Amino acid sequence: MIKTPRYMVKKFLIIIFLILLTPVYAQDNRKIFLKSGKHKDFYRFVFICEKSEITNSININLLNDGKIKIFFPDIFEIEYKGRILEEEDNIRGIKTLKKDKVLIIETSDIEEIKVARYDSPSRLVIDAYFKESVERQKVLKSLSILIDPGHGGKDTGFQIKENREKDIAIYIAKTVASRLTQKGIKASLTRASDEDLTLSRRMKIENSLKPSLFLSIHLCSSDNFYIYTSPGIKNPDIMINPFIRKLKEKFSEPVYTEKLPLFLLEKSVSPALMIEIPKRALSDKNYTNRVIDALVQAIIEKFALVEEKEKNE
């Protein structure tokens, strides 16, 4: 008896399978797949299809009323989450209108869009930025924080063994400043090195820069946090509450606030506060880094920038 070798059967089945698959594949050329995601500042719409000629000839307009109008080179079916978009449909609860070669996504809160095209798979990516986030970016860019590391030079500040307040203060100030800069917030320092700097010199810098916030950093000989503001400030809560909240959230040490007629606070032309950090920061680097995290988050929160996790589909 002649037996068909098993590999022949296998080969035959593969060929049949490919033949069956071809029309489906061909049909998919008439189909565009849509994915969407909601991020902190924007919606992302991704149109994927087989041919880059198609994604390259899709045109996008942001209309005056905040809707996004997309022109396709031909009439396509748009598949979203396993179904074909109907003439009137919705994506993530946003109404969509599809007619002939046009798809309108009826967003209303979009200020600007960014469009990018990529290969393999060929796709078009639209990032639609919320009005609020564009406003927020503008606010961010207009902010400036001046950080004042206490002491310096001959004035070592508080000291235990070889650990000196002036060194820790500048480490904290520099790290906070660079973290803020990464977030797009202008940050500068009254002193960037180990130098003697009089209080009036510090004030001259503050008076000429007129920052959005002046933050002086010190350590204390106790295990408490202290936040000082000038007695002249009418409503210090707005300024200090984010700091109190963050420190209480992240540390077990008590946080005290007080109005003190300190020269730096009294003479500052900007909202000013001085923070004293528990002595543990002198010798515990991990603790110091946690303080830095809390300060950065408090500053960002103060200016109402709430971090949200990206939500994707």
Identity of the residue, 94 or 292, whose beta carbon is nearer to Zn ion in the bound complex: 292
Adjacent-strand bridge partners of 256: 226
Closest distance to Zn ion from the beta carbon of 228 (Å): 11
**In the range 153-212, which residues lie near Zn ion by CB under 5 A?**
157
Tell me the C-alpha distance between 203 and 213, whole Å. 13
Q: Which residue is nearest to Zn ion (CB)?
A: 218
* Binding flag, residue 218, Zn ion (CB under 5 A): yes
220 phi/psi in degrees, rounded to 5: -125, 170
Residue 287's contacts (CB-CB under 8 Å, 6 or more residues apart) are 280, 281
Closest distance to Zn ion from the beta carbon of 162 (Å): 17
Packed helices 236-250 and 285-302: angle between N→C axes, nearest 10 degrees = 140
What are 307's two structure tokens? Answer: 């971090």
Per CB under 5 A, which region of 25-33, 96-104, 147-155, 281-289 contacts Zn ion? 147-155
Identity of the residue, 34 or 278, whose beta carbon is nearer to Zn ion in the bound complex: 278
Per CB under 5 A, which region of 34-42, 54-62, 144-152, 305-313 contacts Zn ion? 144-152
What are 203's two structure tokens? Answer: 């004030």
Identity of the residue, 150 or 278, whose beta carbon is nearer to Zn ion in the bound complex: 150
Site string for Zn ion, 95-134 (x = CB under 5 A): ----------------------------------------
Q: What residue ranges in 39-182 does DSSP mark as E strands?
A: 42-48, 59-62, 68-71, 77-80, 83-84, 88-91, 94-99, 102-105, 110-118, 123-130, 144-149, 159-160, 163-164
Of 289, 271, 193, the residue nearest 227 (C-alpha): 271
* Binding flag, residue 302, Zn ion (CB under 5 A): no
Closest distance to Zn ion from the beta carbon of 169 (Å): 7
**In the range 3-42, which residues lie near Zn ion by CB under 5 A?**
none
Closest distance to Zn ion from the beta carbon of 212 (Å): 23
* Binding flag, residue 279, Zn ion (CB under 5 A): no
Candidate list 54, 78, 128, 150; residue touching Zn ion; CB under 5 A:
150
Tell me the C-alpha distance between 284 and 128, whole Å. 44
Identity of the residue, 66 or 157, whose beta carbon is nearer to Zn ion in the bound complex: 157
Tell me the C-alpha distance between 129 and 90, whole Å. 19
Residues that bind Zn ion (CB under 5 A): 150, 157, 218
